[in-house]
Structure 1
Amino acid sequence: MSTALRVIDYARIRELAKPDAVIAAVRHAFRNHASGAVRQAPVTHLAFDDPPGDCHVKWGHDRAAGIFVVKVATGFYGNPDHGLPSSNGAMLVFSASTGEPIALLEDRGWLTDARTAAAAIIALETAGYQRGEPLGILGAGTQAALVAYWAALMLSPSSIFLWARRAEAADRLVRDLAELNIPAERMSSPATLAQQSLAIVCCTAARAPLLSVHDVRPGSIIVALGADARGKQELDPDIIIGAQRVICDDIEQCIDHGEMQHVGRLPCDIEALGNARLPLKSRPITIIDLTGIAAQDVAIARLCLDAIQERRDAR
């Protein structure tokens, strides 16, 4: 007999998915993905011009988790002008034994933003980011804000430098961070931001490079997570070609619709994030291309379901 579909609402999801737990789950997901333990279907994209936005569908199955997940994530970039978040979406969880739907995670896209922020933290750590050094963030939307909050919590940067196309959005995020005693400052351009910080996370929907090869210095770490569909681009291709180390969450996806889509020839040997390790010597110029993988969605959905079950068992 089928069980009723469980609907987990936004407030409950925010309560369940804490930063340290999400980061641990996503770290494990990357390892599973790199080992081939997770199956995933090709990502589906739907772009919108007026108003500008996009919709992504990811689906994956982790045999060890006992579930498969279909995740729909949307981003409509004019929403903040109307007092709405730019991100939205939901996850539908199925039993991998019977095919029955188990749960609808009504997360409004927050779990996607959370697992992406977690990926950025993991990428920075893997590339050799040192606690306490400055951090630059390009973008000031929902994703950029979450990266800033979680980086402040987990990495303790001495300061966060921000740039966004809309200066008022960057100023608003600076104020929000200041209310939490997180030092932050808006920069006038991506180039000036790169002068202040060797470590940069790119969180925009740009379709032309924001950083040029001249902005890269010895020891630079650039985490590019905005280019998750064809046509999107945040980095000059010469940055990737000249990098000493390139890491991808999924190499095929990054070549198809990440920053790597704009590179005419492949650079140095590309590493999978799930297999990558800390640099042994001086920190090389490192680019991390993150397109988002289904293994992350399966892991964070399993995290929420397990947390609910643990609370029930504790009663």
Structure 2
Amino acid sequence: MLVISENLAQELVSVEDAIAAVETCFAAMARGDARNYPVVRELVGYADAVYGVKAGGDTSVPFLGLKAGGYWPNNLPKGLTNHQSSTLLFDPETGRASALVSANYLTGVRTGASSAIATKWLSRRDASVLGILGTGGQSAYQLLATAAVRELRRVHAWDPSADNLERFRAVVESLGLEFVAETERRAVAASADILITVTPSQSPLLEKDWIRPGTHISAMGADTKGKQELDPALVASSALFYDEAAQALTIGECQHAFAEGMIAEADLRASIGSVIDGSGEGRRSDQEITLFDGTGVALQDLVVAHLAVQRARERGLGQTVDY
């Protein structure tokens, strides 16, 4: 078995690599070559942790595997990040476990990649101002990935933590971009061509009336029942796109509008994978508000882990252990 450490994973897979890999995977999902299996997600009942397992496979590559891990909210004083996860890959020919990949960085970069892919395919071509709600650990990945697909000039951000905003400011300004820290969420929406929400919120942060025509929104925070970042009326009035429909309606941002009967499954316009491969329709006009419900799927994790394993083997890196 090949073991890839956290530091090595960062060396092997860049933001741009992750965007290309996840984009290919989304298209494979739309073709039916790649499939996510049912998600397990549970409250542990110990250390306030949430634990989950996501699994899937892509027969066109092929690869097969799972990512296990979750959220341990008391980790920071221990010198660890709160999100902890590992990916286990299997040989599709034999079922034998073939690689173990540390997935903390890869989870961050694949999440940024999925948002950026939605921005690439759904936002206006001239979109240049990014607005982001939530400037915690995921925000840098979102920024770097968005900057890889659109020529940004300014970033407006909101976060209840002043420390988070200042750390994010440093990342933004390191890219040579103007940074504006906003005290009101509405001010972020009023300025942005591209809006990204990446928070653990369980109540709406953006209202329908705040959003300008032509805005693209990537809602990335809702990945569990109860999480919510957008007013259901905003969701219902937007052109809706998703990574996986079943997850969008049950654990994603669409869950609330769906539960209230404001949208039906038929109101979901297309998967982002179908937009990529041309079988689904994307943005219809420069005035339309587009919304990508990014719930996060196993295949995103597996495709970046598979890429890391391929590159490690090509370069003779990683640790091979008897298993």
Shared fold (TM-score greater than 0.5)?
A: yes
Superimposed CA distance per residue, residues 147-177 of structure 1 (whole angstroms, 9 cap, x where no aligned partner): 1123234423111111112122112211233
Structure 2 gap segments, 5+ residues each? 276-280, 318-323
Aligned to 1:273: 272
1:300 and 2:296 matched: no
Superimposed CA distance per residue, residues 22-77 of structure 1 (whole angstroms, 9 cap, x where no aligned partner): 11110011011112112322111123688655333110011122321110242345
Counterparts of 2:222 and 2:150, CA distance in 1: 24
Larger relative contact order (CA 8 Å, sep ≥ 6) = 2
Structure 1 gap segments, 5+ residues each? none
Counterparts of 1:173 and 1:81, CA distance in 2: 21
The amino acid of 1:121's aligned partner reads A
- Say which of 103, 116, 125 aligns to 1:121: 116
Farther off after superposition, 273-282 or 248-257: 273-282
Identity percentage of aligned residues: 28
1:224 and 2:228 matched: no
Q: Map 1:43-82; keep pairs closer than 5 Å.
A: 43-47=39-43, 53-77=49-73, 79-80=75-76
Distance 1:300 1:193, change over 3 A: same
1:247 touches 1:271 (CA, 8 Å); kept in 2? yes
Aligned to 2:278: none
The amino acid of 1:270's aligned partner reads R
Counterparts of 1:173 and 1:211, CA distance in 2: 20
Q: Map 1:206-285; keep pairs closer than 5 Å.
A: 206-243=201-238, 245-263=239-257, 264-265=260-261, 266=263, 268-276=267-275, 278-279=282-283, 281-285=285-289
The amino acid of 2:87's aligned partner reads M
Superimposed CA distance per residue, residues 97-154 of structure 1 (whole angstroms, 9 cap, x where no aligned partner): 11111010023x1111111100010011111243561001111111112111232344
Counterparts of 2:184 and 2:81, CA distance in 1: 24
Counterparts of 2:143 and 2:49, CA distance in 1: 23
1:138 touches 1:164 (CA, 8 Å); kept in 2? yes
TM (norm. structure 2) is 0.88
1:87 touches 1:142 (CA, 8 Å); kept in 2? no
Aligned to 1:291: 295
The amino acid of 1:271's aligned partner reads A
Counterparts of 2:174 and 2:297, CA distance in 1: 33
The amino acid of 1:286's aligned partner reads T
Offset of 1:278 from its aligned partner?
Answer: 4.7
Name the count of aligned residue pairs: 307
